[in-house]
Amino acid sequence: MTNQPEDQSNYAQAEVNLQLDADQKINLMRDMIRIRRFEEAALKYYNAGKMGGFLHLYIGQESIAIGAVSLCGENDHIITAYRDHGHALAVGMNMNECMAELFGKSTGCSKGKGGSMHFFAPDKNYWGGHGIVAGQTPLGLGLAYGIKYKGLNGAALCFLGDGAVNQGTFHESLNLATLWDLPVIYIIENNGYSMGTSQERSSAFKGSLAQRGEAYGIAWESARGHDLYEVRAKTQKAFNRARNESRPTILELATYRHQGHSVADANAKKYRTPEEIGHHKENFDPLSLWKNQLLKEGVLSEEKHRQIDGEAKAEAKAAVEFAEQSPYPEISEITEDVYFEVDQGSTAGKTGRHFFHD
Protein backbone atom coordinates (compact mmCIF):
# COMPACT_ATOMS: atom_id res chain seq x y z
CA MET A 1 0.00 0.00 0.00
CA THR A 2 1.14 3.48 -0.72
CA ASN A 3 1.69 5.76 2.18
CA GLN A 4 -1.39 7.82 2.82
CA PRO A 5 -0.42 10.84 4.86
CA GLU A 6 -2.40 11.14 8.06
CA ASP A 7 -2.91 14.87 7.94
CA GLN A 8 -6.64 15.50 7.77
CA SER A 9 -6.52 19.28 7.90
CA ASN A 10 -9.40 21.00 6.22
CA TYR A 11 -7.73 22.19 3.06
CA ALA A 12 -11.01 23.57 1.78
CA GLN A 13 -10.26 26.50 4.08
CA ALA A 14 -6.91 27.22 2.45
CA GLU A 15 -6.91 30.70 0.91
CA VAL A 16 -6.37 29.41 -2.59
CA ASN A 17 -9.45 27.21 -2.23
CA LEU A 18 -11.65 29.78 -0.54
CA GLN A 19 -11.14 31.87 -3.67
CA LEU A 20 -12.86 29.27 -5.82
CA ASP A 21 -16.42 30.05 -6.79
CA ALA A 22 -19.00 27.41 -7.64
CA ASP A 23 -18.34 27.55 -11.37
CA GLN A 24 -14.64 27.12 -10.88
CA LYS A 25 -15.19 24.11 -8.66
CA ILE A 26 -17.45 22.57 -11.25
CA ASN A 27 -14.90 23.30 -13.95
CA LEU A 28 -12.27 21.43 -11.97
CA MET A 29 -14.66 18.49 -11.88
CA ARG A 30 -15.31 18.79 -15.59
CA ASP A 31 -11.58 18.83 -16.30
CA MET A 32 -11.05 15.64 -14.31
CA ILE A 33 -14.00 13.91 -15.92
CA ARG A 34 -12.75 14.86 -19.36
CA ILE A 35 -9.42 13.17 -18.68
CA ARG A 36 -11.20 10.05 -17.43
CA ARG A 37 -13.54 9.80 -20.41
CA PHE A 38 -10.78 10.60 -22.89
CA GLU A 39 -8.63 7.81 -21.53
CA GLU A 40 -11.50 5.33 -21.35
CA ALA A 41 -12.14 5.97 -25.02
CA ALA A 42 -8.42 5.67 -25.75
CA LEU A 43 -8.32 2.34 -23.91
CA LYS A 44 -11.23 1.01 -25.90
CA TYR A 45 -9.63 1.82 -29.22
CA TYR A 46 -6.16 0.74 -28.08
CA ASN A 47 -7.64 -2.65 -27.27
CA ALA A 48 -9.30 -2.62 -30.68
CA GLY A 49 -5.88 -2.34 -32.28
CA LYS A 50 -6.22 1.22 -33.47
CA MET A 51 -3.04 2.43 -31.77
CA GLY A 52 0.53 1.29 -31.56
CA GLY A 53 2.99 1.16 -28.74
CA PHE A 54 2.17 1.81 -25.15
CA LEU A 55 -0.75 3.48 -23.46
CA HIS A 56 0.01 4.64 -19.92
CA LEU A 57 -3.26 5.65 -18.39
CA TYR A 58 -3.65 8.38 -15.79
CA ILE A 59 -6.99 7.11 -14.51
CA GLY A 60 -7.06 7.51 -10.73
CA GLN A 61 -4.50 10.31 -10.63
CA GLU A 62 -6.49 13.10 -12.30
CA SER A 63 -6.72 15.35 -9.27
CA ILE A 64 -2.98 15.93 -9.31
CA ALA A 65 -2.60 17.34 -12.81
CA ILE A 66 -5.85 19.27 -12.56
CA GLY A 67 -5.15 20.62 -9.10
CA ALA A 68 -1.58 21.69 -9.77
CA VAL A 69 -2.12 23.08 -13.27
CA SER A 70 -5.16 25.04 -12.08
CA LEU A 71 -2.70 27.26 -10.21
CA CYS A 72 -0.48 28.06 -13.18
CA GLY A 73 -0.10 31.54 -14.56
CA GLU A 74 1.42 32.84 -17.77
CA ASN A 75 5.02 32.52 -16.61
CA ASP A 76 4.66 29.02 -15.21
CA HIS A 77 5.76 26.02 -17.23
CA ILE A 78 4.86 22.35 -17.05
CA ILE A 79 6.69 19.18 -17.95
CA THR A 80 6.02 15.55 -17.14
CA ALA A 81 6.93 11.97 -17.96
CA TYR A 82 5.19 9.50 -20.25
CA ARG A 83 1.90 9.27 -18.36
CA ASP A 84 1.07 12.59 -19.92
CA HIS A 85 -2.48 12.65 -21.28
CA GLY A 86 -3.93 14.12 -18.11
CA HIS A 87 -1.47 16.97 -17.96
CA ALA A 88 -2.00 17.65 -21.66
CA LEU A 89 -5.73 18.05 -21.25
CA ALA A 90 -5.18 19.98 -18.03
CA VAL A 91 -3.14 22.65 -19.82
CA GLY A 92 -5.84 23.04 -22.42
CA MET A 93 -4.86 20.76 -25.28
CA ASN A 94 -7.98 19.51 -26.99
CA MET A 95 -9.16 15.94 -27.18
CA ASN A 96 -9.03 15.85 -30.96
CA GLU A 97 -5.34 16.56 -31.32
CA CYS A 98 -4.52 14.22 -28.44
CA MET A 99 -6.64 11.33 -29.71
CA ALA A 100 -5.35 11.78 -33.25
CA GLU A 101 -1.80 11.58 -31.92
CA LEU A 102 -2.63 8.26 -30.26
CA PHE A 103 -3.99 7.03 -33.57
CA GLY A 104 -0.74 8.15 -35.26
CA LYS A 105 -2.51 10.62 -37.49
CA SER A 106 -1.13 13.79 -39.08
CA THR A 107 -3.70 15.88 -37.22
CA GLY A 108 -2.19 14.79 -33.91
CA CYS A 109 -0.55 17.29 -31.60
CA SER A 110 2.85 16.08 -32.80
CA LYS A 111 1.66 15.20 -36.32
CA GLY A 112 1.77 11.54 -35.37
CA LYS A 113 5.50 11.74 -34.64
CA GLY A 114 5.42 11.57 -30.86
CA GLY A 115 2.76 9.14 -29.77
CA SER A 116 1.18 8.62 -26.38
CA MET A 117 4.28 9.40 -24.33
CA HIS A 118 5.24 12.55 -26.20
CA PHE A 119 2.53 15.20 -26.16
CA PHE A 120 3.71 18.84 -26.34
CA ALA A 121 2.06 22.25 -26.45
CA PRO A 122 4.67 24.97 -25.99
CA ASP A 123 2.01 27.61 -26.71
CA LYS A 124 0.36 26.42 -23.50
CA ASN A 125 3.67 26.23 -21.62
CA TYR A 126 3.54 22.45 -21.82
CA TRP A 127 6.92 20.90 -22.63
CA GLY A 128 6.03 17.19 -22.74
CA GLY A 129 5.51 14.25 -22.44
CA HIS A 130 8.93 12.44 -21.95
CA GLY A 131 9.49 8.75 -22.36
CA ILE A 132 12.62 8.07 -20.35
CA VAL A 133 12.06 7.76 -16.61
CA ALA A 134 13.41 10.93 -14.92
CA GLY A 135 14.80 12.19 -18.23
CA GLN A 136 12.51 15.18 -17.89
CA THR A 137 13.79 16.15 -14.44
CA PRO A 138 16.81 18.16 -15.65
CA LEU A 139 14.66 19.61 -18.44
CA GLY A 140 12.22 20.87 -15.83
CA LEU A 141 15.16 22.38 -14.02
CA GLY A 142 16.15 24.04 -17.29
CA LEU A 143 12.70 25.55 -17.64
CA ALA A 144 13.17 27.04 -14.18
CA TYR A 145 16.61 28.24 -15.25
CA GLY A 146 15.09 29.89 -18.30
CA ILE A 147 12.39 31.55 -16.22
CA LYS A 148 14.98 32.95 -13.86
CA TYR A 149 17.44 33.88 -16.61
CA LYS A 150 14.78 35.90 -18.38
CA GLY A 151 13.81 37.62 -15.16
CA LEU A 152 10.26 36.26 -15.14
CA ASN A 153 8.21 35.67 -12.03
CA GLY A 154 7.18 32.08 -12.50
CA ALA A 155 7.87 28.45 -11.70
CA ALA A 156 8.49 25.19 -13.50
CA LEU A 157 6.23 22.34 -12.48
CA CYS A 158 8.06 19.10 -13.13
CA PHE A 159 6.01 15.97 -12.56
CA LEU A 160 7.63 12.60 -12.05
CA GLY A 161 6.64 9.19 -10.78
CA ASP A 162 7.89 7.38 -7.71
CA GLY A 163 9.94 5.19 -10.02
CA ALA A 164 11.94 8.21 -11.16
CA VAL A 165 13.36 9.17 -7.79
CA ASN A 166 16.20 6.66 -8.00
CA GLN A 167 17.59 7.96 -11.27
CA GLY A 168 20.80 9.95 -11.11
CA THR A 169 19.52 12.85 -13.18
CA PHE A 170 16.85 13.56 -10.57
CA HIS A 171 19.44 13.83 -7.82
CA GLU A 172 21.71 15.95 -10.00
CA SER A 173 18.77 18.22 -10.68
CA LEU A 174 18.02 18.58 -6.97
CA ASN A 175 21.60 19.57 -6.28
CA LEU A 176 21.57 22.18 -9.03
CA ALA A 177 18.13 23.46 -8.00
CA THR A 178 19.42 24.44 -4.59
CA LEU A 179 22.87 25.46 -5.76
CA TRP A 180 21.41 27.97 -8.21
CA ASP A 181 18.17 28.83 -6.39
CA LEU A 182 15.91 27.73 -9.22
CA PRO A 183 12.12 28.04 -9.08
CA VAL A 184 11.32 24.41 -9.82
CA ILE A 185 8.59 22.35 -8.18
CA TYR A 186 9.11 18.61 -8.39
CA ILE A 187 5.80 16.84 -7.95
CA ILE A 188 6.28 13.15 -7.27
CA GLU A 189 3.08 11.39 -8.22
CA ASN A 190 3.58 8.41 -5.97
CA ASN A 191 1.27 5.69 -7.20
CA GLY A 192 3.16 3.09 -5.26
CA TYR A 193 4.61 1.13 -8.15
CA SER A 194 7.42 1.66 -10.62
CA MET A 195 5.90 -0.54 -13.27
CA GLY A 196 5.49 -3.85 -11.37
CA THR A 197 7.88 -3.11 -8.53
CA SER A 198 6.44 -1.68 -5.37
CA GLN A 199 7.94 1.35 -3.71
CA GLU A 200 9.12 -0.83 -0.85
CA ARG A 201 11.04 -3.04 -3.25
CA SER A 202 12.59 -0.17 -5.22
CA SER A 203 13.41 2.73 -2.95
CA ALA A 204 15.42 3.09 0.23
CA PHE A 205 13.79 5.84 2.20
CA LYS A 206 12.65 6.98 5.58
CA GLY A 207 9.22 8.44 5.96
CA SER A 208 8.72 9.62 2.44
CA LEU A 209 10.49 9.95 -0.88
CA ALA A 210 10.20 13.73 -0.80
CA GLN A 211 12.17 13.77 2.42
CA ARG A 212 15.25 13.03 0.36
CA GLY A 213 15.09 16.73 -0.45
CA GLU A 214 16.49 17.45 3.00
CA ALA A 215 19.88 16.22 1.85
CA TYR A 216 19.84 18.99 -0.75
CA GLY A 217 18.33 21.66 1.45
CA ILE A 218 15.06 21.54 -0.46
CA ALA A 219 11.71 22.19 1.18
CA TRP A 220 9.48 19.16 0.90
CA GLU A 221 6.01 18.07 1.77
CA SER A 222 3.79 15.02 1.41
CA ALA A 223 0.12 15.21 0.66
CA ARG A 224 -2.93 13.21 -0.33
CA GLY A 225 -3.07 13.40 -4.08
CA HIS A 226 -6.68 12.32 -4.30
CA ASP A 227 -7.86 15.40 -2.41
CA LEU A 228 -8.12 18.28 -4.86
CA TYR A 229 -8.22 20.89 -2.13
CA GLU A 230 -5.08 19.51 -0.56
CA VAL A 231 -3.25 19.27 -3.87
CA ARG A 232 -4.06 22.91 -4.56
CA ALA A 233 -3.21 24.12 -1.08
CA LYS A 234 0.17 22.41 -0.96
CA THR A 235 1.07 23.21 -4.54
CA GLN A 236 0.24 26.86 -3.91
CA LYS A 237 2.75 26.93 -1.08
CA ALA A 238 5.36 25.60 -3.45
CA PHE A 239 4.40 28.18 -6.06
CA ASN A 240 4.78 30.94 -3.49
CA ARG A 241 8.22 29.68 -2.58
CA ALA A 242 9.21 29.53 -6.24
CA ARG A 243 7.76 32.88 -7.24
CA ASN A 244 8.69 34.86 -4.15
CA GLU A 245 11.96 33.27 -3.14
CA SER A 246 13.12 31.48 -6.30
CA ARG A 247 13.51 28.30 -4.28
CA PRO A 248 12.70 24.71 -5.21
CA THR A 249 10.20 22.35 -3.60
CA ILE A 250 9.59 18.63 -3.68
CA LEU A 251 5.96 17.72 -3.23
CA GLU A 252 5.06 14.07 -2.94
CA LEU A 253 1.44 13.28 -3.66
CA ALA A 254 0.10 9.87 -2.76
CA THR A 255 -2.06 8.53 -5.54
CA TYR A 256 -3.07 5.32 -7.26
CA ARG A 257 -3.42 4.24 -10.85
CA HIS A 258 -6.46 2.12 -11.44
CA GLN A 259 -4.94 0.49 -14.52
CA GLY A 260 -1.64 -1.26 -15.04
CA HIS A 261 1.63 0.54 -15.69
CA SER A 262 0.59 0.56 -19.31
CA VAL A 263 -2.20 -1.33 -21.01
CA ALA A 264 0.48 -3.77 -22.15
CA ASP A 265 1.33 -4.49 -18.49
CA ALA A 266 0.72 -8.26 -18.52
CA ASN A 267 1.08 -8.56 -14.75
CA ALA A 268 -1.16 -5.64 -13.86
CA LYS A 269 -3.39 -7.88 -11.80
CA LYS A 270 -0.60 -9.96 -10.25
CA TYR A 271 1.57 -7.50 -8.35
CA ARG A 272 -1.46 -5.79 -6.86
CA THR A 273 -4.34 -7.70 -5.31
CA PRO A 274 -7.89 -7.12 -6.56
CA GLU A 275 -8.71 -6.10 -3.01
CA GLU A 276 -6.08 -3.36 -3.08
CA ILE A 277 -7.24 -2.01 -6.41
CA GLY A 278 -10.86 -2.16 -5.30
CA HIS A 279 -10.06 -0.40 -2.06
CA HIS A 280 -8.56 2.52 -3.90
CA LYS A 281 -11.27 2.75 -6.51
CA GLU A 282 -13.90 2.71 -3.81
CA ASN A 283 -12.30 5.05 -1.30
CA PHE A 284 -9.75 7.22 -3.08
CA ASP A 285 -11.08 7.85 -6.56
CA PRO A 286 -10.51 11.58 -6.95
CA LEU A 287 -13.50 11.99 -9.23
CA SER A 288 -15.92 10.43 -6.76
CA LEU A 289 -14.39 12.31 -3.86
CA TRP A 290 -14.64 15.67 -5.61
CA LYS A 291 -18.16 14.99 -6.80
CA ASN A 292 -19.26 14.10 -3.29
CA GLN A 293 -17.50 17.14 -1.91
CA LEU A 294 -19.33 19.43 -4.30
CA LEU A 295 -22.65 17.73 -3.64
CA LYS A 296 -22.01 18.25 0.05
CA GLU A 297 -21.17 21.89 -0.51
CA GLY A 298 -24.36 22.27 -2.47
CA VAL A 299 -22.66 23.65 -5.58
CA LEU A 300 -23.38 20.56 -7.66
CA SER A 301 -26.48 18.54 -8.45
CA GLU A 302 -26.63 14.96 -9.69
CA GLU A 303 -28.29 16.25 -12.80
CA LYS A 304 -25.49 18.72 -13.48
CA HIS A 305 -22.95 15.96 -12.93
CA ARG A 306 -24.77 13.68 -15.39
CA GLN A 307 -24.83 16.46 -17.92
CA ILE A 308 -21.09 17.17 -17.63
CA ASP A 309 -20.27 13.48 -17.75
CA GLY A 310 -22.40 13.07 -20.84
CA GLU A 311 -20.69 15.98 -22.52
CA ALA A 312 -17.27 14.55 -21.75
CA LYS A 313 -18.24 11.18 -23.17
CA ALA A 314 -19.60 12.83 -26.30
CA GLU A 315 -16.43 14.90 -26.64
CA ALA A 316 -14.27 11.79 -26.35
CA LYS A 317 -16.44 9.96 -28.87
CA ALA A 318 -16.15 12.87 -31.29
CA ALA A 319 -12.38 12.89 -30.77
CA VAL A 320 -12.25 9.23 -31.76
CA GLU A 321 -14.24 9.99 -34.89
CA PHE A 322 -11.94 12.90 -35.68
CA ALA A 323 -8.91 10.67 -35.21
CA GLU A 324 -10.33 7.86 -37.29
CA GLN A 325 -11.22 10.16 -40.15
CA SER A 326 -7.85 11.93 -40.12
CA PRO A 327 -5.13 10.89 -42.56
CA TYR A 328 -1.86 9.28 -41.61
CA PRO A 329 1.25 11.36 -42.30
CA GLU A 330 2.82 10.96 -45.74
CA ILE A 331 6.09 9.02 -46.04
CA SER A 332 7.71 12.28 -47.17
CA GLU A 333 6.82 13.77 -43.78
CA ILE A 334 9.07 11.32 -41.94
CA THR A 335 12.02 13.63 -42.53
CA GLU A 336 10.19 16.84 -41.70
CA ASP A 337 10.56 18.43 -38.26
CA VAL A 338 14.08 17.05 -37.86
CA TYR A 339 16.09 20.19 -38.65
CA PHE A 340 14.82 23.74 -38.31
CA GLU A 341 16.73 25.13 -41.28
CA VAL A 342 15.73 22.28 -43.57
CA ASP A 343 12.07 22.87 -42.78
CA GLN A 344 12.56 26.58 -43.44
CA GLY A 345 13.99 25.81 -46.85
CA SER A 346 16.77 28.26 -46.01
CA THR A 347 20.26 28.40 -47.47
CA ALA A 348 21.59 26.80 -44.29
CA GLY A 349 19.06 24.02 -44.68
CA LYS A 350 20.31 23.37 -48.19
CA THR A 351 23.99 23.46 -47.25
CA GLY A 352 25.36 19.93 -47.03
CA ARG A 353 23.47 16.69 -46.85
CA HIS A 354 21.25 16.34 -43.79
CA PHE A 355 19.67 12.93 -44.43
CA PHE A 356 21.48 9.81 -45.54
CA HIS A 357 18.85 7.31 -46.62
CA ASP A 358 18.84 6.37 -50.29
Partner 1 sequence: MPMTLYRHAINRALNEELANDENVVIIGEEVAEYDGAYKVTEGLWKKWGDKRVVDAPISEAGFIGMGIGASMLGVRPVMELMFFSFAYVAFDQLINNAACVRYMSGGLINCPIVVRGPANGGTSVGATHSHAPENLFANMPGLKVVVPATARDAYGLMKSAIRDNDPVYFMENTLLYGDPAAASDLDDGEFTLPIGSAEVKRSGTDVSLIAHGRSVLVALEAAKQLEEEKGINAEVVDLRSIRPLDEETILQSVAKTHRAVLIDETKPFCGISSQIATTIQQEVFDDLDAPVLRVTSIDAPAIYSPPLEKEQVPNARRVVEKVMQLG
Of 11 and 119, CB closest to partner 1: 119
Is there a contact between 96 and 320 (Cβ–Cβ < 8 Å)? no
CB under 8 Å to 84, separation ≥6 — which residues?
A: 56, 58, 116, 117, 118, 119, 128, 129, 130
Longest Cα–Cα distance in the chain = 67
Cβ-in-10-Å burial (0-12, 13-18, 19+) of 8 comes to exposed
- The Cα–Cα gap between 108 and 197 comes to 33
> Which of residues 38, 103, 145, 193 is near partner 1 by CB under 8 A?
145
> Which of residues 16, 51, 143, 320 is near partner 1 by CB under 8 A?
143
Least Å distance, CB 224 to partner 1, is 29
Kindly state whether residue 38 participates in binding partner 1, applying the rule CB under 8 A.
no
Q: Do strands 193-194 and 184-190 pair parallel, antiparallel, or not at all (unpaired)?
A: unpaired
DSSP one-letter string for 185-211: EEEEEE-SEETTEEHHHH---SS-SGG
Of 2 and 137, CB closest to partner 1: 137
> Under DSSP, is residue 345 helix (H, G, I), strand (E, B) or coil?
coil
Q: How far apart are the first and last CA of the chain?
A: 54
Whether the bond into 129 is cis, omega within 30 of 0: yes
Least Å distance, CB 172 to partner 1, is 3
Kindly state whether residue 161 participates in binding partner 1, applying the rule CB under 8 A.
no
Kindly state whether residue 104 participates in binding partner 1, applying the rule CB under 8 A.
no
Q: How far is CA 263 from CA 260, 320, 328, in A?
A: 6, 18, 23
> Under DSSP, is residue 34 helix (H, G, I), strand (E, B) or coil?
helix
Closest CA to 38 of 324, 228, 314, 327: 314
Least Å distance, CB 182 to partner 1, is 8
Residues in 176-195 that interact with partner 1 by CB under 8 A: 176, 179
Least Å distance, CB 350 to partner 1, is 9
What amino acid occupies position 208? S
Which residue stretch of 137-145, 196-204, 206-214, 283-291 sits at the interface with partner 1 (rule: CB under 8 A)?
A: 137-145
What amino acid occupies position 183? P
> Which of residues 77, 237, 257, 272 is near partner 1 by CB under 8 A?
77
Least Å distance, CB 267 to partner 1, is 26
Task: Say how many residues touch partner 1, by CB under 8 A.
Answer: 57
Kindly state whether residue 328 participates in binding partner 1, applying the rule CB under 8 A.
no
Residues 197, 202, 206: CA angle, nearest 5 degrees: 135
Least Å distance, CB 146 to partner 1, is 3
Least Å distance, CB 332 to partner 1, is 14
Which residue stretch of 9-17, 117-125, 244-252, 290-298 sits at the interface with partner 1 (rule: CB under 8 A)?
A: 117-125
Kindly state whether residue 336 participates in binding partner 1, applying the rule CB under 8 A.
yes
> Which of residues 53, 138, 198, 289 is near partner 1 by CB under 8 A?
138
Kindly state whether residue 147 participates in binding partner 1, applying the rule CB under 8 A.
yes
Give residues in contact with partner 1 (CB under 8 A): 77, 79, 108-114, 118, 120-123, 127-132, 135, 137-143, 145-147, 149-150, 156, 168-169, 172-173, 175-176, 179, 335-341, 343, 347-348, 351-356
